[in-house]
Amino acid sequence: MTYAALKNDRFLKALAREPVDRTPVWMMRQAGRYLPEYRATREKAGSFMDLCRNAELACEVTLQPLERYPLDAAILFSDILTIPDAMGLGLYFEPGEGPKFRKTVRTEQDIAALPVPDAERDLDYVMRAVSTIRRELNGRVPLIGFSGSPWTLATYMVEGGPSKDFRHLKGMVYGRPELAHALLDKLARSVTDYLNAQIRHGAQAVQIFDTWGGALSAEAYPEFSLGYMKRIVDGLIRDHEGRKVPVILFTKNGGLWLETMADSGCDALGLDWTINIGEARRRVGDRVALQGNLDPAVLYAPPAAIRAEVKRILDDFGDHPGHIFNLGHGITPQVDPEHARAFIEAVVELGSL
């Protein structure tokens, strides 16, 4: 399929550490419950997963924040848990409790029985959404595809849902590490296939969300999280439609491992708010671009305070190429959309080079 030429490539240039006229900005979870128009579309869809499975409605909510704000990228509207759902674990959502699975994966037999999904066949609804969004963007901004990391997906699959201590999976890591590796290997193959399918259908950059990698010990993280993300990076399509397809790694609470993450082959590291972005840049040098890293809770403050934090982060990063402004994690549902506007407009104004 031939798509319209890209009118705004600021985000992709920054990922390549090329000069840009201003710092590009997008928000993790920018299509979400803080927007009244998103809530209306989700109600029309019937449920969150019904919304994900409807390409036209998934496209509609993906574009909603672009209609409100001067953002420099769109991100596919989907969920990180689509792969385990396609493995037959039965994803569902409990109001107020988040995602859960009807089946857990805790034994050798459970792991052996897991299929590696075919992304084009078993996750075709995601690919339809990617194609639809890319077409409707019409070159306005780049489209970001994404997946959860193998470690993060494994936490939900083994625990059955969100967890505070990951006791079942961590028990496996320390007591039966070969089982953990068998599960993570299947997930790494699945994620690689899934992201490559997204790229073929029109994603122009991809991000791997390692939401729970920071829960691992200093010794366990390289083996059980980063090592599998590196395998994925090595297996991805890196050039498509005549342009490089950049890869962003985001490990929440991953500041301990920045140097080894920067050596993974990725193009950029996403940072949460627990590390100073200037210090992060000094540690990784010009090996990778950096994305981040406003604390999402700053958006509950008055616009003047939001603007001051934006300026501080821009000043901390300094006059260097390779900064994509973002939140340090996803925007939260209770944020006033006008406070999100204050954040984005501050970046647009103060980030002009």
Q: How far from the centroid of its chain's Cα atoms is residue 266's Cα?
A: 14
pLDDT band of 84, cuts 50, 70, 90: very high
Q: Give me the pLDDT at residue 353, please.
A: 60
Residue 261 lies in a domain: yes
pLDDT band of 115, cuts 50, 70, 90: very high
Residue 330 lies in a domain: yes
Structure tokens at 141: 């901004």
Distances (CA, A) of 114 to 84, 103, 117, 175, 185: 9, 11, 9, 21, 11
- In tens, the pLDDT along 270-284 reads 999 999 999 999 999
Residue 3 lies in a domain: no
Residue 4 lies in a domain: no
Query: Binding site, residues?
Result: 29-33, 79, 156, 211, 329
Q: Give me the pLDDT at residue 323, please.
A: 98
Give the domain extent around 238: 10-350
Domain count, the chain: 1
Dihedral, 52, 117, 180, 251 alpha carbons, nearest 10: -40
Q: Give me the pLDDT at residue 217, please.
A: 97
Q: Which residue has the tokens 């969004």?
A: 133
Percent over 90 (pLDDT), the chain: 96
What is the DSSP track for 209-256?
Answer: EETTGGGS-TTHHIIIIIHHHHHHHHHS--EETTEE--EEEEETT-GG
Residue 1 lies in a domain: no
Residue 85 lies in a domain: yes
| 186 Cβ neighbours under 8 A, 6+ residues apart | 111, 114, 116
Q: The CATH number of the domain where 278 resides is what?
A: 3.20.20.210
pLDDT at 27 over 70: yes
Cite the active site residues.
29, 33, 42, 79, 156
Q: Give me the pLDDT at residue 2, please.
A: 77
pLDDT band of 308, cuts 50, 70, 90: very high
Residue 43 lies in a domain: yes
Mutual angle of helices 227-235 and 177-200, in 10-degree steps: 30
Query: Binding site for substrate, residues?
Result: 29-33, 79, 156, 211, 329
In terms of DSSP H, where are the helices of the chain?
10-15, 36-45, 48-53, 55-68, 82-84, 108-113, 119-122, 124-137, 150-159, 167-175, 177-200, 220-221, 227-235, 258-262, 277-284, 303-317, 337-350
What is the DSSP track for 13-24?
Answer: HHHTT---SB--
- In tens, the pLDDT along 202-254 reads 999 999 999 999 999 999 999 999 999 999 999 999 999 999 999 999 999 99
Whole-model pTM: value is: 0.97
Q: Give me the pLDDT at residue 3, please.
A: 85
pLDDT at 185 over 80: yes
Percent over 70 (pLDDT), the chain: 100
- In tens, the pLDDT along 120-173 reads 999 999 999 999 999 999 999 999 999 999 999 999 999 999 999 999 999 999
Residue 336 lies in a domain: yes
Q: Confirm if 333 and 300 have CB atoms less than 8 A apart.
A: no
Q: In whole angstroms, what is the distance from residue 281 CA to residue 132 CA?
A: 36
